[in-house]
Amino acid sequence: MMLVSLTASAQSVVLVRPELSDRVLVEAFNRLRGELGAQRFEVILVDAPEGASTPETIDRLAQDKGAFAAISFTRRADTTTADVWIADRTTGKTTVRTLALTGVRDAPSVLAVRAVDLLRESLRELESEQAPPPEVVHVDRRPVPPAVRAFVHAEPPAWRLRLEGTALAETGRVGVGYGVGLALSRRLSERFRAGLALAGPLLGGSYRDTNGTASVRQELAWLELDVTAYRAGPFELSAALGAGVYHLDARSQVEPPLVSRQSQVTGFASSVGLLFELHATEAVSIHAGAAALALAPRPGVAIAEERTLFREPLVRAYAGMGVDF
- How does pLDDT run across 276-288, given as a tens digit for each residue? 999 887 789 999 9
Identify the weakest region by mean pLDDT among 36-50, 129-143, 146-160, 304-318: 129-143
Q: With a threshold of 0.75, does the pTM exceed it?
A: no
Give me the residues paired with residue 218 across strands.
202, 248
CA–CA gap between residue 57 and residue 3 (Å, rounded):
9
Give me the residues paired with residue 288 across strands.
276, 319
Residue 9 pLDDT exceeds 50: no
Residue 34 is predicted with a pLDDT of 87
Residue pair 41/120 in contact (Cβ under 8 Å)? The answer is no
Confidence of residue 50 (pLDDT cuts 50, 70, 90): confident
Residue 135 is predicted with a pLDDT of 61
Residue 138 pLDDT exceeds 60: no
Burial annotation 136-164 (CB, 10 A radius, 16+ → b, else e):
eebbbeeebbeebeebbeeeeeeebebeb
Look at residues 97, 128, 152 and tell me which one is the last residue of a structural domain. 152
Mapping DSSP to helix (H, G, I), strand (E, B) and coil, where does residue 295 land? strand
Is there a single domain that holds both residue 187 and residue 129? no
Residue 19 is predicted with a pLDDT of 85
Highest mean pLDDT among 16-25, 31-40, 44-53, 262-271: 262-271
Residue 59 pLDDT exceeds 90: no
Confidence of residue 89 (pLDDT cuts 50, 70, 90): low
Residue 187 pLDDT exceeds 80: yes
Please state, as a whole number, how many other Cβ atoms lie within 10 Å of the Cβ of residue 52: 8
Residue 78 pLDDT exceeds 90: no
Identify the weakest region by mean pLDDT among 52-61, 108-117, 144-153, 313-322: 144-153
Confidence of residue 7 (pLDDT cuts 50, 70, 90): very low
Is there a single domain that holds both residue 288 and residue 187? yes
Instruction: Tell me how many domains the chain contains.
Output: 2
Is there a single domain that holds both residue 93 and residue 133? yes
Is there a single domain that holds both residue 124 and residue 194? no
Residue 107 is predicted with a pLDDT of 84
Share of the chain above pLDDT 90, in %: 42
Instruction: For residue 195, give its domain range.
Output: 159-324
Q: How much is the mean pLDDT over the chain? A: 85
Is there a single domain that holds both residue 167 and residue 316? yes
CATH of the domain at 171: 2.40.160.20
Is there a single domain that holds both residue 217 and residue 98? no
Residue 244 is predicted with a pLDDT of 98
Identify the weakest region by mean pLDDT among 4-18, 181-195, 233-247: 4-18
Residue 58 is predicted with a pLDDT of 78
CA–CA gap between residue 309 and residue 291 (Å, rounded):
20
Residue 251 is predicted with a pLDDT of 94
Is there a single domain that holds both residue 136 and residue 168? no
